[in-house]
A and B are shown apart, each in its own frame.
Chain A
């Protein structure tokens, strides 16, 4: 079902459950979950860089304040220019001091970012390039 963009999550859930109560008597299946999804689409669509490849992802490792709970997020087609070029890890490790990387991490943490269990993350402590098939 679609809902107006200005409808609140609570309103959509409440009406969704009202509708589910009316649907339940006409289906032999059982309700498992209800999702509210808001979508934003870039307009106009822009072209990707000519040599970009989704499978070259940047894997970023975040942790909570106590450095106990950790989570990961990946950025597809990470730029080669963000990889360190000297020493151990050259061409693999992402430079966490790069200003664009710092800005991205700051914006991600400001969500505020949590792990899937709702524990708030406080910092990103490592990042490297991963190539996936």
Chain B
């Protein structure tokens, strides 16, 4: 059981046509290529693509993926729609959130809040706000404190049925 790299990274160019419909082009590149190198190449490639398409180029994304080669079986009856939602204050007085799918009932309180005194939750929270991890809000500001955390059910899609 290990997380292994996919054989190639992926560069996706995003387009929009006159009707507003969206499209994309996918290129692959050697996984070991530095993101900064791909950014430079993507800028040049976008400019070259602009000359051969009538659509507007809205941007691009660069993706590196690791996947579990032998994933373990999830707990019986676990549902990814049953999420734990964690909302953090940020250093610029805004908020930022992330969710954890299939949150365990053991960390929930009867009112649906996540028990912020649970030792597993305090360990997670300490790591998020402690500054040891690189993660931040979408605008780059630090996550400073857990504002609220609660259970949230999302809609089940047809493919998510048991």
Contacts and interface: CB of A to CB of B under 8 A. Distances in A.
Interface of B: 3, 7-8, 11, 15-19, 21-31, 33-35, 38-39, 41-45, 47-49, 51-68, 71-75, 77-78, 80, 84, 96, 98, 100-104, 106-107, 120-121, 123-124, 127-128, 132-138, 140
Given A18-B133, A107-B44, A118-B31, A48 B26 contact: no
Contacts of A32: 67-68, 71
Closest 9 CB pairs of A and B: A52-B54, A76-B23, A28-B78, A49-B54, A118-B7, A28-B75, A29-B102, A77-B55, A54-B23
19 contacts: A1-B135, A2-B136, A9-B34, A9-B35, A12-B134, A26-B103, A30-B68, A33-B66, A40-B43, A40-B61, A46-B56, A48-B15, A49-B55, A52-B18, A53-B19, A57-B23, A104-B49, A108-B27, A114-B7
A104 B42 CA distance: 11
B100 A27 contact: yes
A112 B98 CA distance: 35
A25 B60 CA distance: 35
B58 A45 contact: yes
Contacts of A75: 25, 49, 52-53
B77 to A, nearest CB: 8
Contacts of B75: 28-29
Nearest to A37: B63
A37 B133 CA distance: 17
A74 B52 CA distance: 11
Contact of A39 (B16, B28, B61, B71): B61
Main secondary structure of the interface of A (DSSP, over half): mixed
Quick one: which of B75, B102, B135 has the most chain A CB within 10 A? B135
Interface of A: 1-5, 7-9, 11-13, 15, 17-19, 22-23, 25-42, 45-55, 57-58, 71, 73-79, 82, 100-101, 103-104, 106-108, 110-118, 120
Contacts of B53: 52, 58, 75-79
Contact of A15 (B38, B58, B133): B133
Contacts of A31: 3, 68, 71
Contacts of B17: 48, 52-54, 76-77
Contact of A35 (B22, B65, B72): B65
Given A41-B58, A48-B55, 18 more contacts: A3-B135, A11-B134, A12-B134, A13-B66, A15-B133, A19-B133, A22-B120, A26-B120, A40-B42, A52-B55, A74-B25, A76-B23, A77-B23, A101-B52, A110-B45, A112-B33, A115-B28, A117-B8
